[in-house]
A and B are shown apart, each in its own frame.
Chain A
């Protein structure tokens, strides 16, 4: 089935809306996701999980389960050697494997409901389910703590007896649930606030929200008698999975081959391991392939989410609207193990603004919840929700248009960021002007309708990346990358390769290689895969072009500097110009064997020069004064992409992030009972936006080229989730006059606030 492509040579593909090469497989059901892989002799794996939020594990007796016919392997904490408490590089991330090994399989204690305690492999689902019931775990139930503020109290139940707050000197005398205190800033905030005519100070709270990918975690492992490991799984980084599994199970990295399946959404939640080490351990014991797939309930109880938090923000400004000083205090839940995204939260809080005096303090706090995982711009949406709400309130107090106030204080090239260094060329101001220019911004509103605006920032990263290009004997090109394609990466890389080599886009076939077939790649995350991957492809193409020039020069008996590569052809240049007919990549491919062998190049880089991406969102809401329901009427957003390789997939990142933000703002939350158990572990009561909850989302692509990227590209994937919560809170304030500081802004909360102010009642 040949899908149409929308562009043809010699025009450049970059910037056009081509059909993705993996598209046909995905609209026909052919594409194979995590749970779609099977092997002969495969066993069904199941995980036994803690029913308690906090309990000491006194004993685990698996003997009855092991004796059940059909059970081929059972694993517990005893199958995972303990790890020392030190930060070790896993890929580029620093991991404390003492925590990682305890999160994949509970050790001394179960630290949250759903914490894995044992796993079985059996010949059928029915047998596996029965086996779990036969595993006898003796628990000593301990008092639990869920809320971040409660967890910080001196008398709070202690999750880790050996956890002493880092970042405070001298070291505290007693352990606590506060893993770390961080601080960033510059200047003297007291002096800053002293110069302010107006100061707004407020407290905010946000709830943990799950990444909500539709594809549950899945892993299929096959370990042979000689210890060679084959692993298929759904992940944002199969090289990271390889590193974790090798470390946790004492394997040589070279013996572990991981293949990333098509991935059904990740948003940061598939950057860590859950099932993968269990599948390998079970298969190693059973000597048969073992497949593990999470239920939706397990996904909610045992993976992700991101932090809930308490935030204090204080912002001062002059009458004229110049920000003079800014302070914030962030308390982020890390879940059961340290490692919340509070550090980036502190760095991003005030990043969109040029403020002389800034101070942000953050606390990383453990409590009896699943360990948080990265979620799109980790930490930033939480702190920027609070700051952008306060900016809006300040605008109201100063009677300055909220966009104008932001423009007055917006970071631009040369501005010293709150976290230290100066910004290069950035597009915040351009995004503010872009939304200001829309007719959305000036369309009149009716009663109980409101309009809100908010901006957002995220750093973006580069990192280790490999991509290979091979010119086949017929001139077609095979492209291999090593970062899982989560939203159109293969299309973007193929477009860049086609432009670089001057070959038709549909003659480039991109695939994602397994860990044995392509060099090391950091994961798909940090909005890096298109940014870094395209740099690696450019590097690989450069090698091919140089090689082709050398070969042509030899065939023509010219000096290397007498030939050059121009849109898909090698041609003589200078005084030899025209002496030979230009020869195409395809023509040279035909004689590859006779001119030195196969033609190919490999880009191996640690991509630097990631350019931050700023965005500004504009939203209209309508509030039902009798029920507290908030309806999103209209949504417009502008974000700096540097250069959009594939505008449709850039817009898709924008729109998807905005929709996730709408859910975060209005209905998504983790609801715990007094027993410390999650009450809404399913899509029925964890309320992600459905198609009828959202309007069309107008995505405006602003392009302020990133000077450090050959095409000017910036990462775009994460920034879109930063502004929505504040934009919606600001719109609700505009509609009702009420400032909401607690997420989600769900109907009961909104109606309660309206009633308290006597605003509820029949709509006029």
Chain B
């Protein structure tokens, strides 16, 4: 079956990126034309992504339903593959399109969310300065993300990995005259870049010892990693173990895993649709996707040591993020921490997964959660964006009682909150339940953590839900009103998806060994998780539905703990210290000084010595002819004597 057309999934957004980026941002070209300055660029971007979306759906249909499982498991298909750059005779950097269950699923997720966000943005960003620029960046991001998910080899993935990073930088810094946005963008880029350093070194190690970048060869059972001898080891881990650990560092950076998460909350400085697309649904799951991509390696190398690291990183992240989310005031930050927490879930699910059959439940659950989370988290962000659009503030204390003004936003937001809290029949219930089941089977301690996090999640989500739509009735300077249709339609679509996607029998499609199996719900666990979700919701309802002094009293009661979570466990301050005190003041400043004074000082010293010496002998060059003649004379005589002496003429 030919999947060659899949290249168009990329070409469309590339074209729109080029068109908007080169033409739309030129005031000289767009001139005074209302049309060119206005929404036409938005529609071009949206149209292109819409095309990609349709193609992705067709691809998914053809891959999952037409192609099916020819030999018991889902095949790996190449839509395209060509050499992009050559490193040596045997090692080349390919570009291509690899289609397998997870990449096809990601294609659908990325194009769906991207399309809806594009559509939403045509309304949300209307009238903003840099409207065309915004869509150019969105298109760039879409291309990069699509390239990342279909990467045929780890270097292609790194390629697009960096590109999504830079799109993220550009979009976070979209309001570039706002210093906080600039700082946040810089922080996001540098923190992820630091993580990518690990990724790159990991790639170098992996490619050196395995001799290939290709995912297919790498993960194959008889491949250079799994088939060969373990190779040399270093500090208890094999080289492949180190490589995988370093690659996971890259994934952890992108997916905002503790302790590399600090950029994600700040990234909320970007426009809200960006947060929905990049920092909730797509880019941040790249780390999870990366681990899933190399899952057989993580599972096998060094007996799964790195996989346990993945699991615990995920678990700790989800707990810390959930705790911090409880006390934040800025609704976008709450959502950001919630994203972190959910990403922790996904990582943990991968970490507790096995490779084959029912063992691979965690893998399936992780991907499933990734899928459902993309829908409801995008919905949450877009809903929050709709609210922010209406009240022009991010802070919860500026909101309250909005359900009367914004019915569509209210209802869709409620759906999303229920989904993330794991209430059936919303999608989050199914995927989260699978994760809890997988954790329960593998590691009880992690299960307990995740169980608690499920409750906390329900609590903080409904805290903001009640805070925004119920709570204190207040009067607004400008009466809030429901957003325009281009913004509410994506909300409704995503709400429907958030309800329905949970019913997809995911195990049929996406599994660790690409062999379908029938999952089933572990009802005792499911009931327990529903119970903790409901408890969380009820507590939030008691606290925040009507104005009362319970929150304040609770804060008082927890005292220091409350302050710690509100101040995000001071992790930012630690980084600040490392960055400024150590990197800037501890290394960069001394290096600059050293260069000016010691290295250059040495060179200048040479110069000074030469100059001094030349001044010393400058008197020889007196300009007096007689003196020259004398020296000449004396020199001549000395020379002749020397020659005579050497040749022996003087004696004979």
Q: Please indicate whether A and B come from the same complex rather than being unrelated chains.
A: no
Q: Which residues of A contact B (CB under 8 A)?
A: none
